[in-house]
Structure 1
Amino acid sequence: MTTRRNFLASLVAVTASPRLGWAAVGSPAYIAAAQLPDGVHVLVGLDLAGAETFRVPLPARGHAGAAHPAQAEAVVFARRPGYFALVIDAGTGRVLHELMPPKGHQFNGHGVYIDGGATLVTVEQMAEGSAGRIGLWDVASGYTRIDGFATHGIGPHDVRLMPDGRTLVVANGGIETDPTDRTKLNLDTMCPNLAYLGAGGDLLEKVELDQELAQNSIRHLAVASDGRVGFAMQWEGEPGMGWPLLGLHRRGERPVLAEAPLADELAMKGYAGSVAFSADESEIAITSPRGGRLNRFAPDGRFVAAEAREDVCGIAPHPDGFIASDGLGGLIALGCEGARPLARHECAWDNHIVPL
């Protein structure tokens, strides 16, 4: 049987050759992790029509990733709690680097390149207690760990770079988990927050929800060009409550909770898996694979429409508005006239579509 160690040994690249750009691998618009019918995990490049531009193997299930802005390489993070992240050459499928979190840390599934691709930012937590950490890695030196600082919350999951190119926004989920599995330990004392951090880790602003929403874990982020932040939540309290699962925030202001009609809110089953602004930023949408539902809102939080789609989760901007993926291999485009099919692949798409 092929072990993960053997897989990595066969794929690690030892080369000093110049890195290729994304045009060399078909100029993909997105990357997404998936599982094939035979159980093999892969990273796939997709164009705007939903066609595959490249496919490379992964040694285990990928959750989300980060695409380098210039070089045809991507970081794929293990499913939370994760102990490895792979830097993959999208042209050859070779593993260029395997990143390991510092002792006592765990990767939490997301990251982002900053400084024009010179630095990789990773979201982490301390294994004991789940205190949030940001990791900084220098790309040019082979992804050397260079720094780290607190996220000012526990159980962080997502991070994005703000339009000023300097500020990070972090989704601190507020959940303490068991170090060895995903068991949640503090559901009665949760305190999620949205934290804005400076380049050196200084806390610029922290946004917390009202106490009645303390069990609404802030999980995923989308950032508009004007600095608006959309945050998707997952309700950890009593089921069937119908609390809003999308929040909108602009720095210096109070957050706005985007409410759908009760039936559409209940259909989400308390779980928003991904969030994205549309390409023209006239809408923002959240998905629920548990509810088979996609809810769309205006940027001020007004409900626009709902779409039913079995096991839908991944979502990203698309010229039509949005592109969404599901666990049955489907890709759809969503615009003002509703959904239209783009493509169907023989795979099960994982939770996220990452735009390049």
Structure 2
Amino acid sequence: MQSTRRGFLAGMMAAGAVPATSWAEAGNPAYLAAARDSDGAYHLAGLARDGAGRFSIPLPGRGHAATAHPKHPEAIAFARRPGTFALVIDCLAGREITRLEAPEGRHFYGHGVFSQDGNLLFTPENDYDNGTGVIGVWDRSAHWDRVGAFSSGGTGPHEITRLPGQDVLVVANGGIETHPETGRAKLNIPDMRPNLSYITANGHLLEQVEPPVADHMNSLRHLAVNADGLVACALQWQGDRFDAPALLAIHRQGGALQFAMASDTQHLQMQAYGGSVSFSGDGSHIAVTSPRGGVAQIFDRDGAFLTQHSLEDVCGAAPATGTGFIVTTGTGEVAEIDASGKYQKLSQHTRQWDNHLIAI
């Protein structure tokens, strides 16, 4: 059926009449995830809501996260920091469209986001010789040319997302300076200053908030945005893990960062590391995962801790229906969890899922 569909599209293209394609044409996947197969090869996979595979496309190296085009079955797969490739993928044809390379003196951070209309792609980057963060701008309609760049508002811009219904970018500047010559070594921990920045699509800084000065080593890393604009951040503490402050921050424009954590015993199980963060499908709950601790903690949207689930090497998290979440693990598992304590294993794959599960 798929080959017939592709043949039909090829014929239409030859005739000069190409129908608009959507994610439904690519098997209607609900999520994207990078993975390492048992043979060591890397892929970007499309997953259905029940955890079943919809497609799997080879990557030239280890992926970290991806972003989906808002209208068409296209995805961008990003290399893990400090990688320099971003693969533009036609998920219908199962092929690489083109490969974006970070400019000289820059590397990607493993994340990116499209503009509301899907014409522009924004990529967090490290200008490593100057120790500053940059947001690169790429134009899909101009053969993916790089058309600009602007400041991320800080150092180490890790994840970027967009407020719903508008082209206001939300950037988690982790505050950590790195350089490819020293690999993933962190060069400025005593002086790091993470922040959360709101920036227009043309680079104008609208708002910026930071953790308290005493918690300046709490690196803002990963982001989720609710339909009403509420932002959740997963943090990674760079000090002694036994002294880690809260690893979940909640923010709404115009306010201060609000921090949330479980009881001392449960908080310690996170091992000072928030790997991913997600709102539930109905926006009422927030999940933060820790692959180091093997736990996923669930809070309500006001920051009250509710429950946690233990899953070996759990990291990827994305919305499911209602109050639920879909999570992925480095052991190949795809599962559904919720705030009531419900756990359901959906599927088991012979691959290691990487850090993030991205909802389409």
Q: Considering the TM-score relative to the shorter chain, is it more than 0.5?
A: yes
Question: What one-letter code is carried by the residue in structure 2 that aligns with 1:144?
Answer: D
Report what 2:141 is aligned to: 140
1:299 matches 2:292: no
Instruction: Please show how residues 157-306 of structure 1 align to structure 2 within 5 Å.
Output: 157-180=158-181, 181-306=183-308
Q: Distance in 2 between matches of 1:223 and 1:332?
A: 22
1:311 matches 2:294: no
Instruction: Please show how residues 317-356 of structure 1 align to structure 2 within 5 Å.
Output: 317-320=319-322, 321-335=324-338, 336-356=340-360
Shift of 1:179: 2.7
Of 308-317 and 174-183, more deviation after overlay is shown by 174-183
Question: What one-letter code is carried by the residue in structure 2 that aligns with 1:58?
Answer: L
Q: Distance in 2 between matches of 1:87 and 1:164?
A: 24
Shift of 1:337: 4.0
Retained in 1: the 8 A contact 2:115–2:122? yes
Question: What one-letter code is carried by the residue in structure 2 that aligns with 1:252?
Answer: G
Shift of 1:242: 3.5
Shift of 1:208: 0.7
Q: Distance in 1 between matches of 2:116 and 2:207?
A: 21
Q: Distance in 1 between matches of 2:244 and 2:263?
A: 9
Retained in 2: the 8 A contact 1:235–1:271? yes
Retained in 2: the 8 A contact 1:277–1:316? yes
Instruction: Please show how residues 22-41 of structure 1 align to structure 2 within 5 Å.
Output: 22-41=23-42
Q: Distance in 1 between matches of 2:327 and 2:167?
A: 29
Q: Distance in 1 between matches of 2:26 and 2:358?
A: 16
Q: Distance in 2 between matches of 1:36 and 1:294?
A: 24
Q: Deviations over 1:200-248 (max 9, x none)?
A: 2111111011111100000000001111110100000122113110000
Aligned residues: 342
TM normalised by structure 1 equals 0.93
SS at match of 1:263: helix
1:128 matches 2:129: yes
Question: What one-letter code is carried by the residue in structure 2 that aligns with 1:65?
Answer: A
Retained in 1: the 8 A contact 2:70–2:116? no
Q: Distance in 1 between matches of 2:113 and 2:153?
A: 18
Q: Distance in 2 between matches of 1:271 and 1:258?
A: 14
Q: Distance in 2 between matches of 1:179 and 1:337?
A: 42
Retained in 1: the 8 A contact 2:279–2:318? yes
SS at match of 1:24: helix
Report what 1:150 is aligned to: 151
Report what 1:10 is aligned to: none
SS at match of 2:148: strand
Q: Deviations over 1:3-32 (max 9, x none)?
A: xxxxxxxxxxxx998574212221000111
Question: What one-letter code is carried by the residue in structure 2 that aligns with 1:328?
Answer: T
Q: Distance in 2 between matches of 1:200 and 1:119?
A: 11
Retained in 2: the 8 A contact 1:128–1:179? no
Q: Distance in 1 between matches of 2:200 and 2:114?
A: 15
Retained in 2: the 8 A contact 1:275–1:315? yes
Report what 1:11 is aligned to: none
Q: Which runs of 5+ in 1 are unaligned?
A: 1-14
Instruction: Please show how residues 85-100 of structure 1 align to structure 2 within 5 Å.
Output: 85-100=86-101
Q: Distance in 2 between matches of 1:196 and 1:220?
A: 14
Question: What one-letter code is carried by the residue in structure 2 that aligns with 1:299?
Answer: R
Question: What one-letter code is carried by the residue in structure 1 that aligns with 2:325?
Answer: F
Question: What one-letter code is carried by the residue in structure 1 that aligns with 2:94?
Answer: G
Question: What one-letter code is carried by the residue in structure 2 that aligns with 1:50?
Answer: G
Shift of 1:164: 4.1
Q: Deviations over 1:82-134 (max 9, x none)?
A: 21111011133321111012221111110011132111111111021431111
Shift of 1:300: 0.8
Q: Distance in 2 between matches of 1:191 and 1:157?
A: 13
Identity %: 46
TM normalised by structure 2 equals 0.92
Q: Distance in 1 between matches of 2:156 and 2:244?
A: 23
Of 36-45 and 88-97, more deviation after overlay is shown by 88-97
Retained in 2: the 8 A contact 1:129–1:177? no
Q: Distance in 2 between matches of 1:328 and 1:269?
A: 19
Q: Distance in 2 between matches of 1:194 and 1:125?
A: 16
Of 311-320 and 15-24, more deviation after overlay is shown by 15-24
Retained in 2: the 8 A contact 1:130–1:175? no
Q: Which runs of 5+ in 2 are unaligned?
A: 1-12
